[in-house]
């Protein structure tokens, strides 16, 4: 029999204690727990290693929150559900703002805006043309008038009343100039009337014409009075039979000249109007001669 010294305790085999830190990957922990293997692939020691491993894992689990398998699946399902809800809400917003109806409304608004812009630009362009054309007013100058014949004789009017009858032939020359650089003007006129006081002695109609841009023309118009009853309204003509060279007869020549320019077809039209009035004094010895009208006429 073997004895030990009194002060010496019996020798014991000590097992080293290992501390295993749980990895962050919970899947590894799950595999190690279910399959019976350590995280590093070696079998677990039933007496020491397992208890220490679970003790350390429990300690770490107490300090670090973990999710079990079903809880993780539930968490993932919640995340997927929230993501689907966000996508669904985004789709609803897209449908509300960028759906077919909204796109149609946007196209309609764009077409209306484009149409309004084109109409406004075209209107502004037409107004600009109209304003520019107004500065090219035609120039009307009365050149002269020739009193070719003047004859007074006794007669009767249509009702048979006896009175003096006047026959007068004259020619009026008008210089018409179109200074415009980009349009033609169409010219018409009211009847040219030659009168003494309120009595009309002769009249004539000017022919219509179209005057091209930057051009001018002299217009000759016949002003004629045929068997015009005087009814004693022209005392200056009483002595015409005896002394025709001494006749002094004040006359007025009046008419309205209208000009129309088609600047942009029928869309832009410009109108000009001149009211001409000339004061003339006819002397018997000037019969058949030209009377200058350039200084005796006015536009009002």
3-class secondary structure per residue, 198-230: CEEEEEECCCCEEECCCEEEEEEEEEEEEEEEC
What does pTM read for this prediction? 0.60
Q: What is the torsional sign of CA 278, 283, 288, 291?
A: negative
The proportion of the chain whose per-residue pLDDT surpasses 70, expressed as a percent, equals: 66
Residue 78 CB-half CA count within 13 A: 6
Using one digit for the tens of pLDDT, what is the confidence trace for 215-259? 999 999 999 999 999 888 788 777 666 677 778 889 999 999 999
With residue 251 as reference, give the H or E element that holds it: strand 248-264
Say what the pLDDT of residue 257 is: 94
The domains of the chain are located at 26-66, 99-135, 137-299
> What is d(CA 43, CA 179) in angstroms, rounded to the nearest whole number?
115
CB atoms within 10 A of CB 1: 2
Task: Decide if pLDDT at 114 tops 60.
Answer: yes
Give the number of C-alpha atoms closer than 13 A to the C-alpha of residue 118, restricted to the C-beta side.
6
Query: Which CATH number is 137-299 given?
Result: 2.60.40
Tell how strand 139-156 and strand 162-178 pair up: antiparallel
Q: Name the phi and psi angles at 79, rounded to 5.
A: -65, -45
Binned at pLDDT 50, 70 and 90, residue 81 comes out as low
Rounded Cα distance, 31 and 41, in Å: 10
Instruction: Quickly state the pLDDT bin for 13 (edges 50, 70, 90).
Output: very low
Q: Which residue has the higher pLDDT, 89 or 110?
A: 110
Q: What pLDDT was estimated at residue 184?
A: 92
Residue 279 corresponds to which tokens in the numbers above? Answer: 């004061």
Query: What is the average per-residue pLDDT within 179-185?
Result: 91
Mean pLDDT of 199-208: 93
Which residue is associated with the tokens 């749980």?
Answer: 22
């Amino acid at each position: 029999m073997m004895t030990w010294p009194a002060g010496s305790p019996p020798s014991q085999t000590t097992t080293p204690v290992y501390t295993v830190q749980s990895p962050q990957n919970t899947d590894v922990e799950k595999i190690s727990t279910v399959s019976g293997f350590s995280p590093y692939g070696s079998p677990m020691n039933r007496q020491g290693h397992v208890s220490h491993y679970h003790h350390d894992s429990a300690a770490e689990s107490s300090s670090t929150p973990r999710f079990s398998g079903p809880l993780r699946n539930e968490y993932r399902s919640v995340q997927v559900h929230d993501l689907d809800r966000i996508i669904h809400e985004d789709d609803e917003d897209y449908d509300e703002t960028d759906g077919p109806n909204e796109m149609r409304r946007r196209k309609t608004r764009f077409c209306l805006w484009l149409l309004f812009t084109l109409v406004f630009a075209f209107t502004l362009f037409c107004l600009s043309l109209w304003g520019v054309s107004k500065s090219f007013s035609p120039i009307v100058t009365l050149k002269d008038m020739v009193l070719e014949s003047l004859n007074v004789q006794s007669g009767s009017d249509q009702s048979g009343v006896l009175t003096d009858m006047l026959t007068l032939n004259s020619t009026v020359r008008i210089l018409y100039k179109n200074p415009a650089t980009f349009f033609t003007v169409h010219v018409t006129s009211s009847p040219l009337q030659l009168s003494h006081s309120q009595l009309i002695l002769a009249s004539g109609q000017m022919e219509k014409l179209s005057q091209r841009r930057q051009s001018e023309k002299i217009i000759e118009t016949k002003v004629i009075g045929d068997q015009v009853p005087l009814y004693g309204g022209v005392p200056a003509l009483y002595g015409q039979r005896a002394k025709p060279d001494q006749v002094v007869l004040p006359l007025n020549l009046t008419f309205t000249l209208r000009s129309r320019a088609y600047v942009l077809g029928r869309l832009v039209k410009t109108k000009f109007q001149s009211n001409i009035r000339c004061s003339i004094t006819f002397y018997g010895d000037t019969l058949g001669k030209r009377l200058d009208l350039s200084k005796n006429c006015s536009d009002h």
